[in-house]
Amino acid sequence: MNTEFSLSSLGEFGLIDRIQSRFPQPVAPELGIGDDAALLTPSPGMQLVVSTDLLAEGVHFERSFGPLRLLGRKALAVNLSDLAAMGARPRWFFLSLAIPVGFPLDEIEALLDGVAEQATAHGVLLAGGDTCGSRSGLVISVTIMGEQRPELLLRRSGARTGDEVWVSGTLGDSALGLQLLLKNRPVSGCNETEYVVNRHLDPTPRCGLGQALAKAGLASAMIDISDGLLADLGHICEQSGCGAEIRLAQLPRSPQFQRLVASAPLSLWQLAAAGGEDYELCFTASADRRAAIQELAKTAGIPATVVGKVTDSGRVVAYLPDGSIFQPSSAGYTHF
Amino acid sequence: MNTEFSLSSLGEFGLIDRIQSRFPQPVAPELGIGDDAALLTPSPGMQLVVSTDLLAEGVHFERSFGPLRLLGRKALAVNLSDLAAMGARPRWFFLSLAIPVGFPLDEIEALLDGVAEQATAHGVLLAGGDTCGSRSGLVISVTIMGEQRPELLLRRSGARTGDEVWVSGTLGDSALGLQLLLKNRPVSGCNETEYVVNRHLDPTPRCGLGQALAKAGLASAMIDISDGLLADLGHICEQSGCGAEIRLAQLPRSPQFQRLVASAPLSLWQLAAAGGEDYELCFTASADRRAAIQELAKTAGIPATVVGKVTDSGRVVAYLPDGSIFQPSSAGYTHF
């Protein structure tokens, strides 16, 4: 980290040089940063898989929530999660930053540290981007490109009546972590709080599991959970022309989540089923694949849990433990 | 245009539906909006060419400068210009918008009108994107993808000592238009002012000329002029390990530009050689290609002019008509 220079003394091209120097670049005959465009070659027989996400200060994050390094990790994680949901292997990404005037250079360095960590962890190369000033908040735009054999890709449209609905990991941690951050609850010193806050600030994209499911041909449809399980499963149902039944009691919850909601007046099911930003995978699969999926998840080191089944009802219905129907209080974050 | 609904009543998914409905989508087996990622297949034998640009309110544009329709056209134009500079054919683009709270829906519709016009004009398909709220200004992020046979692509690195330096169109109009906008000079009623302001608000990417030069194998290096001729030619020289000499008297200037600078105390050469946002092409070519290039430019309907030559000096030197060396007053827009 270098705090000798301010961003204004470094300038736009100085910043670009600094960004370029800390990311390994695509090797010849490919071409990354330093021309009008990047030149990239998907592997033979592979389909290109592309996604993009914009993160805006005051909307997706507050700088006060945690170190900028984690924000850098998350900016790439949410994009990696989209590729994971297709079962694609990440290859390249483009990073654009709109930076407020007077933004400290060491915070930009910390942000880039986080992006670089995540990029290294997933073997994805920075191939280009753009930087500019911003009149107010920090805006981060990432476009990610990956690849997969076309016949292996997992779309949202493949779910069939009778399939089981699965989720990876545990749900609700991130939404609970965000609630605690918004309430300014002390984070340090409480292991449970630190855990759920970290799940919000530093989510783990399920790239390995997503690719393994795609390669094994075990799932019929897949999506990542960014708007909450019920909303995102709703997208699978829409695209597949089906419905789903969820048993909330079966939703996987972390011990930390369980202890925190037991001690506070929080809406357990709202957080776990509709809270959002889990970045876990939700997928559907024929019931006869259950053992194979459990085996594959064990190998990947990520729990996978059946939480319901696909129906022909045309809508997603979630049942509370007492058998009554759960009504989420909102369909997720409202942007406008 | 529909003003019955506000953006807040439409919501994020309503806005995405509205965006999707007005852009033709990639056809099967490709997949555009509506899944976690877009699936795209470059044509056989083609290399993928990717660029991204971020436009931020208060930095790249003011909403008061002109209709949002033109801003939509420009957001795509500046990205198309990057592909033109590689000689690539545009195929797909991704559009991300961070929209201020309370932004009028009809202005978003106007913005999308402009993007759609430009997309249709250049045969490029919207394959995905992201929308979110913004704490203050409007931010537009576009990632564009095109393709070209790898051996035809025009990099910045191919200029050789003795090559001639060419530019397309006329220079300085856009920078002069911006100066007039910043000074709140009346636009309507004066043809010259309208012309240069329009060149700033609605630049024309030179896609046809760029591809024709690439296919004909006539140029040795190419870049688009976004930061001003001298700065951008500097990038060619850096990447090619050479220098250049420019004769300012040879810079192509529009009659409108000439009349306006004659009647006002404006720095003619500063605008034409270092003003920026021309979105014309600057390219280098062996002197024996001169006739062929003039013929090709004539066919493309865009003037092309020799403005200097490539040297081995390692720097770009611009000569005023009296033979003295021109010193630009700044190296372009300073972002931070």
Mean pLDDT of B139-149: 95
Lowest mean pLDDT among A164-168, B12-16, B127-131: B12-16
Across the interface, of B35, B53, B83, the residue whose CB is closest to A156 is: B35
CB contact under 8 A, A36 and B153: no
For residue A330, give the 3-state DSSP assignment: coil
Residue A109: pLDDT over 90: yes
Share of chain A above pLDDT 70, in %: 94
Cα Rg, chain A, nearest whole Å? 21
> Which B residues 16-55 touch A at CB under 8 Å?
29, 31, 34-42, 47-54
State whether B145 and A57 contact (CB < 8 Å).
no
Say what the pLDDT of residue A4 is. Answer: 46
**CATH code for the domain defined by A156-319:** 3.90.650.10
A35/B86 CB distance under 8 A: yes
Residues A232-279: tens digit of each pLDDT: 999 999 999 999 999 999 999 999 999 999 876 668 999 999 999 999
Best B141, B148, B213, B282 member to test A by mutation, with max A CBs in 10 Å, is B141
A82: nearest CA in chain B? B36
pLDDT at B185: 65
* CA distance to partner chain B, nearest, from residue A28 (Å): 12
B139, A134: Cβ pair inside 8 Å? Answer: yes
ipTM above 0.95, yes or no: no
Q: Are A141 and B99 inside 8 Å of each other by CB?
A: no
Considering only the beta carbons, identify the residue of B37, B59, B96 that sits closest to A54.
B96
Non-local CB neighbours of B149 within 8 Å, separated by 6+ positions: B45, B46, B47
Q: What is the pLDDT of residue B117?
A: 96
Per-residue pLDDT, A186: 62
For chain B positions 198-257, those within 8 Å of chain A (CB to CB) are: 222-224, 239
Give residue B14's pLDDT band: very low, low, confident or very high (50, 70, 90). confident
Contact B48 A40 (CB under 8 A): yes
| pLDDT at site A143 | 96
For residue A148, pLDDT beyond 70: yes
Contact B86 A39 (CB under 8 A): yes
Average pLDDT over residues A189-204: 93
Q: A134 and B135 in contact by Cβ < 8 A? A: no
> Nearest-CA distance from A265 to chain B in Å?
29
Q: What is the mean pLDDT of residues B230-250?
A: 96
Q: Contacts of residue B83 in chain A, CB cutoff 8 Å?
A: 36-37
Cβ-based contacts of B51 with chain A (< 8 Å) = 36-38, 128
Residues B269 and B248 sit within 8 Å (Cβ to Cβ): yes
B169: left (phi over 0), alpha (psi -120 to 50) or beta: left
Shortest CA distance from B33: residue in chain A: A51
pLDDT at residue B2 in the model: 41
Mutation for B interface: A52, A93, A220, A227, most B CBs within 10 A:
A52
Closest chain A residue to B88, measured at CA: A37
The fold for domain B7-151 equals 60s Ribosomal Protein L30; Chain: A; (3.30.1330)
Asked if pLDDT for residue A37 goes beyond 50, the answer is yes
Q: Higher confidence at residue A231 or residue A31?
A: A231
pTM listed for this prediction: 0.91
Q: What's the CATH code, domain B164-319?
A: 3.90.650.10
Superfamily of domain A10-150: PurM-like, N-terminal domain (3.30.1330.10)
Test mutation, A30, A54, A126, chain B, max B CBs within 10 A: A54
Q: Which pLDDT belongs to residue B1?
A: 38
| Extents of the domains making up chain A | 10-150, 156-319
pLDDT grade, residue B152 (50/70/90)?
very high
Taking CA–CA distances from B141, the nearest residue in chain A reads A141
Contacts of B336 in chain A (CB under 8 A): 7-8, 10-12, 15, 99, 101, 103, 133
Lowest mean pLDDT segment, chosen from B36-40, B220-224, B225-229: B36-40
Q: To the nearest whole percent, how much of chain B has pLDDT over 70?
A: 94
Q: Collect all residues with Cβ–Cβ distance below 8 Å to A278 and sequence separation of at least 6.
A: A169, A171, A172, A173, A174, A175, A203, A225, A226, A228, A229
Structure tokens at A84: 């994971």
Q: How high does pLDDT run on average in chain A? A: 91
Give the nearest chain A residue to B226 (CA atoms). Answer: A36
| pLDDT surpasses 70 at A331 | no
Q: Is the peptide bond before A29 cis (omega within 30 degrees of 0)?
A: yes
Q: Label residue B4 by pLDDT band (50, 70, 90).
A: very low
pLDDT for res B336: 65
Q: How far is B94 from chain A (nearest CA, A)?
A: 7
B3 band by pLDDT with thresholds 50, 70 and 90: very low
pLDDT at B330 over 80: no
Q: Do A52 and B83 touch (CB under 8 A)?
A: no
pLDDT at A15 over 90: no
Check CB contact under 8 Å for A36 and B131: no
Instruction: Label residue A2 by pLDDT band (50, 70, 90).
Output: very low
- AA letter at A321: P
Please report the pLDDT score of residue B225 as a whole number.
97
pLDDT at B266: 66
More confident position, B27 or A167: A167
**Cβ contact B133–A335 (<8 Å):** yes
Q: DSSP characters for B259-318? A: HHHHTTT--HHHHHHH------EEEEE-GGGHHHHHHHHHHHT--EEEEEEEESSSSEEE
What pLDDT score was predicted for residue B60? 86
Q: Report the mean per-residue pLDDT for chain B.
A: 91
For residue A39, the chain B residues in CB contact (below 8 A) are: 47-49, 86, 150, 153
- pLDDT for residue B206: 98
Q: Is residue A197's pLDDT more than 60?
A: yes
Could you give the C-alpha distances from A313 to A58, A163, A286, A309, A317, in angstroms and in order?
A: 38, 13, 18, 11, 9
Residue with tokens 């390692």: B314
Residue B253 structure tokens: 């200037």
Residue B57 in 3-state DSSP?
strand
**CA distance linking residue A198 with residue A200, whole number of Å:** 5
- Whether A29 sits inside 8 A of B150 (CB atoms) is yes
Average pLDDT over residues B185-194: 78
